[in-house]
Structure 1
Amino acid sequence: MPNGGVAYFSAEFGLDESLPIYSGGLGVLAGDHIKAAADMNIPITGVGIFYSKGYFQQSINEGGSQQHLYPYIDPEASTYPVQLVRDAEERPLIIEVRVGSRQVYAKAWSVQVGSVTLYLLNTDVESNSDKDRRLTDTLYPSEQDVRISQEMILGIGGARLLAALGIQPEVWHMNEGHSAFLALERIRMLSAEGVPFETALETVKASTVFTTHTPVPAGHDVFSIDMMDRYFCDYYWQLGTDREQVLSLGSLNGTFNMTRLAVSTSSKVNGVSKLHGEVTRDLFHGWMPHIPRQDIPIYSVTNGVHIGTWLADGMKMLFDRYLPSDWAVRSEELDVWAAVRDIPATQLWEEHQRAKSEMVRELGLPLDLSGDGPLIVGFARRFATYKRALLIFRDLERLAHILNDPQRPVCLVFAGKAHPADGPGKELIRRIVEISREERFKGRVYIVDNYAMDKAKKLVQGVDVWLNTPVKPMEASGTSGQKAAMNGVLNCSVLDGWWVEGYNGRNGWAIEGATDTDPDQQDQQDSETLYRLFEEEIVPLFYKRGEHAVPTEWINMMKESISSLAPVFNTRRMVSDYWHKVYVPAIARGRRFVADNFEVASRVAAYKQFIRDHWSAVSVRKVEILADHSSRIGLNKIAFRAEIGLGAIWHKDVRVEAVGADGRRGIWKAKLDPVQQLAKGLYVYEGVSPDVSINIWKANANVRVTPISSDFANDFEMELAAWGAVPCTS
């Protein structure tokens, strides 16, 4: 990549099954992201880790216990599409990272994905101790010392690698918080050039963006302050500031939180679906309770999948025949996919049956597909408890009746891995194996071991229904159902993640997903919905034959699924969104902050310091709500009058507004303007409500003061707000 462009950091990349350095959805999403960027000629460079033993190879023994195998991946073997990165003298390029009290060395390997290069660091270097040579062996190690070491190699080492290669990105994209130490390294580099810490921080923040994928607090990497001191004791001072200021960037509840660090050092933060954006705002609201959750600056770019990777060959041939000739490069256009409805039902069904037969053969499933049956339901994903793999087994007698109807048989196929340290997840696998061996479920319930991209492709292309039953709203996005949809496989899913946006009532089935209720009650309600859907809708529709002895109504639903979902949930749309909504603004912002010897970055840093130094003097001293009362601002409207103490802060450097709940989980805001100065630093502000129909007394209305600047990335960049005596709840 020439200077400029985007550096895309991720702990895992799932490009292909031939390079097993990924664990699941996050890595596959990262792989699809850079493949789409290559397709679209968007200048991206990937940075990750080459794991010498990958995630793990899974086998399931006779007792149903998951076994973990870690075969060595030799990057020099011809079976892996990687090349050693060399310097100008053709020597292996070695990157050094001080990890605690020792120097650790890493080689770099590269993978070429079209026009995009992915660089992968690995510490299996002779200069390292035996222990350090093993640091990058496995993905997501349970040992905290190994985990923080890996993340230092990824973030700090990755930034140094790009510098050594002469690559100067204009945007740095952190895909999840594992790589967030890159922000500290970039500050260190600027500090070494004589740039003050505060200015360096603003410079780095301006050109950094962060995507969070994890909707639950436990999913975010956290290190103790003692551990941070052990590993960064020789590093703090190199950033041009003291230990406390460095730690404050990630400090949360007495620990160092990598997501907090990523948020503190990014100008834009996004979730991976609209619902996930809302859930993330709820999560981050706990960090900054003085800002209403609706104002937490989290955006959303809903995930998509790479069509070229996940589409069955037969389906691609059909699309080539019936869609516009350039459909593959216009796949984000809705009109392109309208022609799916013109594909003859018999041809679409034949291609689906071909994919189904290939799946059965490749996965070794002992199924007889004569007569187009049985209806095959796929459930394949990481075995984490919140994904509720056992939901469909809640009523075994009822399930057995559904699966064993001799006229309308149904089969369930499960696949997935549990993290080696996840005991409950491994128990899910054991239980499914146990159920599959019951006489009533033999030949009806299967579990496929060692789930990876090769088997995932067969499953999303070949099953009839894709089942997804997470606890709402704990799935950030999910992409497996998107892969299934483009292949004509119908989704039956909880309305969580991407499916809330994709479901239209005609392209699959929805499980509402009860929330804010007892977990057992939620499981009961959702399982009841699931059984009813299979009994009354899914199974009857699948076996209802029409003209030419094919399930015409089912095929119409397949067409609706493809035409409504494929154009929206693909990586061309996703990467286009990132480019226009995230990368381009960050490029412009980054350039502006470094121009003229960091003039804007320096000004913003000084301004923020001034605001912080004097914010304690800001107060909302008196609030009056004048319902149906005239004021000097407006007549016969609800008016607000407040006395605001600003101390040394200029009145044009703050926004004063009335804020209240709108009764629909949103908030309304009414700008207040200064109308009188009572004394130095003390003003009267007035304004009127935006809607005369608001019941002001039920709106928990209050007055808020926030610092503003045209140089801020968002209205709440400083995470500061001063409220009146009445707390605002929304």
Structure 2
Amino acid sequence: MQNSGIVYFSAEFGLDESLPIYSGGLGILAGDHVKAAADLKIPLTGVGIFYGKGYFQQRIDEGGSQQHLYPEIDLEESVYPVRLVRDDNGRPLIIEVPLNGRQVYAKTWSVQVGSVTLYLLNTDVETNSEADRRLTDTLYPGNQDVRISQEILLGIGGTRLLAALGIHPEVWHMNEGHCAFLSLERIRMLSAEGVPFETALEVVKASTVFTTHTPVPAGHDVFSIDMMDRYFGDYYWQLGADRERVLSLGRMDGAFNMTRLAVSTSSKVNGVSKLHGEVTRELFHRWMPHIPVRDIPVDSVTNGIHTGTWLAAGMKELFDRHLPSDWALRAAEPEVWAAVRDIPDIELWEEHQRAKSKMLQAFGLPLSSEGGGPLIIGFARRFATYKRALLIFSDSERLARILGDPNRPVVLILAGKAHPSDGPGQELIRKIVELSREERFKDRVHIVENYAMDKAKLLVQGVDVWLNTPLKPMEASGTSGQKAALNGVLNCSVLDGWWEEGYNGRNGWAIESAIDGDPELQTKQDTEVLYRLLEEEIIPLFYKRGDRMIPMEWVDRMKESICSLAPVYNTHRMVNDYWHKLYVPTSARGKRFAADNLEVASRVAAYKQFIRNSWSVQVRNVDIHENNSSGNGMTKFSAEIQLGAIWHGDVRVEAVGSDGHRGIWKVILEPVQQQAKGLYVYEGASPNIPINNIWKANANVRVTPISPDFANDFEMELSAWG
């Protein structure tokens, strides 16, 4: 039996362009996570799907329309060793998965990334029907039946695969909700051993971590209840609970929501930037309206990038010469990067020019980087509408003047794919192609087709400015700008995702977007700020040349960007954060819940059932007043609490109110008198809350069930208010 530490499930992994089983940021992040775990010798195993034809290859036709090509992946081309997993008898290891009343079989490929093994399931097996053999051909299919089949294969099949391999993880990490069915399968396996459903649920929760990457409700996978019944009709009873209880784990707004399932079966949930943590709390508040936004239990671990993957070879040589010899192993230490300030300006500038020249040559662009020009702005990412690829074209006449100045030429390079089902995203590409052909934008606007990791590397290393203009706050984190920053490319971005944390006023430029709920007004304001930055700051600074035609102040910003951002926004720091904030505490919790024949899990399950069945708590006669008798202006709170059958030691009673700055204050109230069976008077006081603010603060008294065994104060999502 192998104890593997952490198992990391993801629907996509972007390790290298030679293994195109990723579509965008989520997959690249997963690939970088795996590489950093290998670098840091963290015991991690990856589980995903091997898509035989990968994500589509993009061709843009004469009319600017995106064409979707699906060639078979050639495993011989992969830079990472890919092998078929075999059983002890040398036969391919086959996993059986129930799908809509039939059995589907999957083989497994393993990919070795340093010390980390990534297992990828694939249904192209002779014993399957032709339709089932095609289930794992492509990534994120538009067909809902294929989509749910892939997610069952990933979650349930991946869990069965680990059992077949004898891998028993201490921590299960779900990277986005696509894999959340793994929790149901883990409950089923415990149920098969005679463990009651509620106890099994506590065991699973205790050892599970969930990372959400999507700040918009529409970004979360949702399946109809009818579809769930079709695929899980023969499965519900195997979990040891009735259909309603199983569906309750993910039921939202009359459908089954995979993010809701992931949250219901995890003890730790995190967003991927500080701002995204806040946005996620707002989103989950809709599910738990009786819990104030600030109390919703969501951590945040800001994304980073794998330095070794994204740093230009020439830049690496430059750092090897000027930074401490072990800088690559100590990438998360700011003092290591301080030496960048001492690199001679000419060396840093010339190295960037080489990367720029290499990019132009690779893309066959009719431009010369002689003398450092032209200023090249890069915009490359998934063409989803909220990323606003056309924002810079909002005033096309003004943009034409900016790009067309013969003394200070500027070039715009764009790249990206739109999902085959995303009509508006594909329309963006068509519009950009159309604009690039207009006389005023000829040789000034270029679109690079078939964006993938190889082209992303050239762009983040070779452009001068990295542009990012999402509609705030819809960018969960974004990592392409971090890759650019590592290479000395300066960011000009909306203060969303990671950039809100990373921008310091000297390491790039910020489009300070106001979130006011009016996208049109926001777009208008952001466009004006972007044009003003280009005209008054970015272009003049780039063309302000000093000795040997070097833009000294620009190079200073490049150094500031590298020094301030490279040590923070890398996956060594990120995976260390996961290790200390999520993996270590979750491992300890999981072991405690599973110890002594599941003693803690059984106790917590029974306690929660009792609380739920007895929860008829009422808060009455709330009184808030100021007592000045002692001269210190105490605000006093009292309330009558009807607890019924629940013991007063099993609840927390507190006065809660807004601090006027999106935060909340809390004052604990203690039981001072029992008036009748289950009826108590609670009182408390605080010197720090001026009475005139109390009513503005929407103050109230709240009762919440508590337990030292809960992962957080609101684990039961229950509370009663006055």
User: Structure 1 length as normaliser, TM-score?
Assistant: 0.98
For the residues of structure 2 that align with 1:75 and 1:6, how far apart are their CA atoms? 27
2:678 matched residue in structure 1: 681
Alpha-carbon shift at residue 692 of structure 1 (Å): 3.4
Distance 1:541 1:78, change over 3 A: closer
Structure 2 residue matching 1:19: 3-state secondary structure: coil
8 Å Cα contact 1:670/1:690 also seen in 2: no
Alpha-carbon shift at residue 77 of structure 1 (Å): 7.0
Deviations 1:563-587 (A, max 9, x none): 0000000000000000011000000
Structure 1 residue matching 2:328: 3-state secondary structure: helix
Counting only pairs closer than 5 Å after superposition, residues 199-598 of structure 1 correspond to structure 2 as: 199-598=199-598
2:643 matched residue in structure 1: 646
Q: Output the amino acid matched with 2:438.
A: E
Deviations 1:352-381 (A, max 9, x none): 000000011111111122221100000000
Q: Output the amino acid matched with 1:667.
A: I
Q: Output the amino acid matched with 2:271.
A: G
1:30 matched residue in structure 2: 30
Structure 2 residue matching 1:538: 3-state secondary structure: helix
Alpha-carbon shift at residue 72 of structure 1 (Å): 1.2
Q: Output the amino acid matched with 2:712.
A: N
8 Å Cα contact 2:80/2:113 also seen in 1: no
Q: Output the amino acid matched with 1:647.
A: G
For the residues of structure 2 that align with 1:630 and 1:236, how far apart are their CA atoms? 63
2:695 matched residue in structure 1: 697
For the residues of structure 2 that align with 1:629 and 1:675, how far apart are their CA atoms? 21
For the residues of structure 2 that align with 1:342 and 1:196, how far apart are their CA atoms? 64
2:88 matched residue in structure 1: 88
For the residues of structure 2 that align with 1:609 and 1:514, how far apart are their CA atoms? 45
1:150 matched residue in structure 2: 150
Q: Output the amino acid matched with 2:208.
A: T
1:621 matched residue in structure 2: 620
Alpha-carbon shift at residue 626 of structure 1 (Å): 1.3
For the residues of structure 2 that align with 1:532 and 1:398, how far apart are their CA atoms? 11
Give the superposed CA RMSD: 1.2
1:637 is aligned, of 630, 634, 656, to: 634
8 Å Cα contact 2:705/2:718 also seen in 1: yes
For the residues of structure 2 that align with 1:75 and 1:528, how far apart are their CA atoms? 48
2:718 matched residue in structure 1: 720
Structure 2 residue matching 1:327: 3-state secondary structure: coil
For the residues of structure 2 that align with 1:213 and 1:237, how far apart are their CA atoms? 32
8 Å Cα contact 1:669/1:690 also seen in 2: no
1:728 matched residue in structure 2: none
8 Å Cα contact 1:378/1:414 also seen in 2: yes
Q: Output the amino acid matched with 1:619.
A: Q
8 Å Cα contact 1:622/1:642 also seen in 2: yes
8 Å Cα contact 2:104/2:132 also seen in 1: yes
8 Å Cα contact 1:355/1:462 also seen in 2: yes
Q: Output the amino acid matched with 2:671.
A: P
Alpha-carbon shift at residue 472 of structure 1 (Å): 0.2
Q: Output the amino acid matched with 1:70.
A: Y
Alpha-carbon shift at residue 696 of structure 1 (Å): 0.9
Alpha-carbon shift at residue 519 of structure 1 (Å): 1.5
Structure 2 residue matching 1:656: 3-state secondary structure: strand
> Which segment is superposed worse, 325-334 or 701-710?
325-334
8 Å Cα contact 1:270/1:277 also seen in 2: yes
1:19 matched residue in structure 2: 19
Q: Output the amino acid matched with 1:685.
A: Y
8 Å Cα contact 1:669/1:689 also seen in 2: no
For the residues of structure 1 that align with 2:354 and 2:698, how far apart are their CA atoms? 60
Deviations 1:496-526 (A, max 9, x none): 0000000000000000112114221111110
8 Å Cα contact 2:418/2:426 also seen in 1: yes
Structure 2 residue matching 1:13: 3-state secondary structure: coil
8 Å Cα contact 1:639/1:689 also seen in 2: yes
Deviations 1:331-356 (A, max 9, x none): 11111111110000000001000000
8 Å Cα contact 1:630/1:639 also seen in 2: no
For the residues of structure 2 that align with 1:197 and 1:415, how far apart are their CA atoms? 49
8 Å Cα contact 1:485/1:561 also seen in 2: yes
Alpha-carbon shift at residue 76 of structure 1 (Å): 6.8
User: Structure 2 length as normaliser, TM-score?
Assistant: 0.99
For the residues of structure 1 that align with 2:304 and 2:25, how far apart are their CA atoms? 11
Deviations 1:656-702 (A, max 9, x none): 00000000011100000011110110000001135133611211000
For the residues of structure 1 that align with 2:570 and 2:629, how far apart are their CA atoms? 54
Alpha-carbon shift at residue 628 of structure 1 (Å): 2.9
The gaps in structure 1 that reach 5 residues or longer are 725-730
For the residues of structure 2 that align with 1:594 and 1:608, how far apart are their CA atoms? 17
Instruction: State how many pairs are aligned.
Output: 721
Counting only pairs closer than 5 Å after superposition, residues 152-171 of structure 1 correspond to structure 2 as: 152-171=152-171
8 Å Cα contact 1:46/1:119 also seen in 2: yes
Q: Output the amino acid matched with 1:239.
A: L
